[in-house]
Structures are given as structure tokens and as C-alpha cells.
Amino acid sequence: MTNINQPKFEKARRVFDKVFNKYDFMNDLMSLGIHRLWKERLIDWMNPKKNDHLIDVASGTGDIAKVYARRNNNMGQITCVEPNKFMLEKAQKKLKNYKNINWICSPAEKLPIKDEQFDIYSVSFGIRNFSNIDKSLSEARRVLKTGGRIFCLEFSKVDNEILKQFYKMYSKSIPIIGKYVVGSAEPYEYLTKTIDEFYNQRQLADLFRKNGFEDVEYRNLTGGIAAIHSGWKI
């Protein structure tokens, strides 16, 4: 697969093959349950219109699609793109009663989609697992319409020293808890490692600009444990 870092892609695939049945619980575990509020804030900032077409990449078990559909009164069209077939199947079962969702199994680095199809591109807790972030952002810009907007919700860097120390200690416990949840600490060691090694808020904003997005900004959530980044295709 061109433009894909195959070892990183395969590593992420193996991790999510192991945890897809516990994925929603995993997000609760890693965010102390606050990820559900963060996703509501993401949709708040999107402020979707009834005819908007959303593409949600690394869509997981469909959380963003579900919140988006509810908040948009099922008026807009949604395309969910997820590289892991087990995650995609789980999302399809979870959202089987939603008729305005299209499903695609594909990596973010090579979307099987024509140019300029979407009003909004979203990725939630997925970008740090992309094998080639530059290529994925380039693809995001390609499939967005002119005037379209990207939104990215991701774990980030805490800006409060006391909270930082607490979160650091808590993160060390996640693989131990994960061992009891899915029978293996390895997936959680991988995921906490990717969080620790990922870009800070300013670095990710710069990466958006590098790949052609304009008017890039971000909003911290819960002291920077997570952040939402946004940029426009102009």
C-alpha cells in the first residue's frame, strides 16, 4: 500500500484486533470516561448544518457518527472510514438503525474517494495511530470541498503541572488494568506510548498548516489532556 508505513500500520492493526470488543471501555479507561463529553464538544464546534456531508476517518465503533447524527437530526450524510474490519463490523451493528451512514474499510492514507466530496472531515483519537500523518492530512484536504473544514480530537499535552503529574501516574496504571480487561497489557502499553510520544498542540497545528490547511486553531479540553484542532480548506 503506497504511502503507508507498513510496520506501524500492522502494529496498530494487531492492537485493535485484540481490543475491538473492549474499545469503548478502553476509551472510558484512558480518558476517565470524559471522552464522551469531549466528543460532544467536538460536535459543538462543528455546528453541522442539515445538508452537510461528514467523513469520519478512523471511525472506530461509530461514536462520532452517532453523536453527529443525533445532533443533526439525521439530516446530513455520514461516511465512516475505518481500517480495521472488526471495528467496522462492530460499528455497523451498533448503528444498524441509522440509514444515512455509508461504511468504508480503508486506511486514512489512501481513501477510495473522489476529490472534494465532503463538507467536514473528522478524526477522533485516531490520528496518532496513522502510519503516515502527512499523507493522511493530504488526503483529508483532497476529499474536502473548497470551504470545507477538518476537525481532529486527540489526546494531547497537559498544561497544568499538578494535573500533569496525576495524569502521568494514572497512565502508568492503564496497562496493568488493561491486562485484566482484555487479558494482555501490550495493547495498552502501545496506546499509552503513542499518547506520550505524540505531538503537542502547537506541533500538530503546524502539521496542519504544512499540509495546506488555513486558519488553524485548537482548543484544549480538561487542561490539555485532549485537544481539538481545526483547519479550513480555502
Cα–Cα distance between 155 and 233 in angstroms, integer? 24
pTM: 0.91
What's residue 37's pLDDT? 95
The DSSP code sequence of 89-121 is HHHHHHTTT-SSEEEE---TTS----SS-EEEE
pLDDT of residue 62: 95
- In the sheet with 101-104, reading across from the earlier edge strand, the strands are 101-104, 77-81, 53-57, 118-124, 144-155, 226-232, 214-221
pLDDT at 1 over 80: no
Which structural domains are found in the chain, ordered by start?
6-14+34-158+200-232 (3.40.50.150)
Q: What is the pLDDT of residues 77-117, one digit of tens each?
A: 999 999 999 999 999 999 999 989 999 999 999 999 999 99
> What is the percentage of the chain residues whose pLDDT exceeds 90?
66
| Cα–Cα dist 133/205, whole Å | 12
Tens-digit pLDDT profile for residues 161-209: 898 898 888 888 888 887 887 788 888 888 889 999 999 999 999 999 9
pLDDT tens per residue across span 42-73: 999 999 998 899 999 999 999 999 999 998 88
Coil vs helix vs strand at 184 = coil
Q: Which residues pair with 154 in a beta bridge?
A: 227
At what angle are helices 35-46 and 23-31 packed, to 10 degrees? Answer: 90
Alpha carbons 51 and 38: distance in angstroms, whole number = 24
